[in-house]
Amino acid sequence: MSAVLQMESVFVFVLGIIVGSFLNVVAYRVPRGESVVAPRSSCPSCHTVLRSVELVPILSWLCLGGRCRHCGSTIPVRYPILELVTGALWVATLWWIPNWPARVAWAVFWVLLVAVAGTDLTSMRVPNILSLPGAALAVGLSGVCGVHGWGQTLLGAVVGAGVLFAIHLLSRGSMGLGDVKLYLSIGAMLGPLYAMESLVMASLSGVMVGYGLRMSGLMKKREPMPFVPHIVIGVVVIAFFGHPLTEWYLHNLLATGV
């Protein structure tokens, strides 16, 4: 790895975790209808306004051992995870995506996706105020930045949301309308085929993690599980490994049927 790319990676990672830290604010406040700019961050339990040193992404959580230094209440592990995931996705985008316009489009899309995963984790909701402007932004960025041509972008959005809407109807609402709206932007960024592959991956992740959590007793049997984090996993896998996975699938599974 060249020295320039190393420096770029560090810069992009630090910027990514700072943005991730803001996404934690979004995830907590947007479902409550609160402003994301004011007031300053405070502990949800004791309401002490947090000092700058308590707001350093990842490090503050680690140094404080995941507890508020004033009242000792637990700070969910979601906080450092959302920060780390945003930073890691931005670095992966720098490494995997070959040109800057497309990198910018992906970086913005990851911000949307992590924010929505956050609101789903805090409140089991995908707020329209994130998913709908996010869809318009993803369609615009995918087309303008050349992630896909306009045809694939629009087809992806329509197929993505359309298939999810069909599942919403068939599942009698187990698949929420929030997920349907979220797939407008996912379809725009991945195109129709990869959007469907991401859904398969998300479902696999949901089944496996759900099974694991229920077996280990961390989740009750009928307790609903936020699905957007699994959607993020599916989209990440397909965004970065969609090509080799599709090749492998065509080579191994379809070839055996010939």
Q: Which residues bind Zn ion (CB under 5 A)?
A: 43, 45-46, 68, 70-71
Q: Closest approach of Cβ 155 to Zn ion, in Å? A: 49
Q: How far apart are alpha carbons 22 and 28 in whole angstroms?
A: 10
Two structure tokens written together for 158: 């329509």
Residues whose CB is less than 8 angstroms from the CB of residue 45 and which lie 6 or more positions away in sequence, other chains included: 68, 71, 73
68 vs 237 by CB, closer to Zn ion: 68
Q: Closest approach of Cβ 67 to Zn ion, in Å? A: 8
User: Per DSSP, what are the bridge partners of residue 42?
Assistant: 49
44 vs 101 by CB, closer to Zn ion: 44
Q: Closest approach of Cβ 74 to Zn ion, in Å? A: 10
DSSP string, 165-214: HHHHHHTTTSS-HHHHHHHHHHHHHHHHHHHHHHHHHHHHHHHHHHHHHH
70 vs 125 by CB, closer to Zn ion: 70
Amino acid type, 119: T
Q: Closest approach of Cβ 51 to Zn ion, in Å? A: 12
Q: Closest approach of Cβ 70 to Zn ion, in Å? A: 4
36 vs 71 by CB, closer to Zn ion: 71
Q: Closest approach of Cβ 49 to Zn ion, in Å? A: 10
CB 192 within 8 A of CB 160: yes
- Report which secondary-structure segment, H or E, holds 138: helix 128-144
46 vs 207 by CB, closer to Zn ion: 46
23 vs 68 by CB, closer to Zn ion: 68
* Nearest residue to 178 (alpha-carbon basis) of 165, 197, 163, 159: 165
Q: Which DSSP symbol is given to 76?
A: P
Q: How many CB atoms lie within 10 A of CB 251?
A: 10
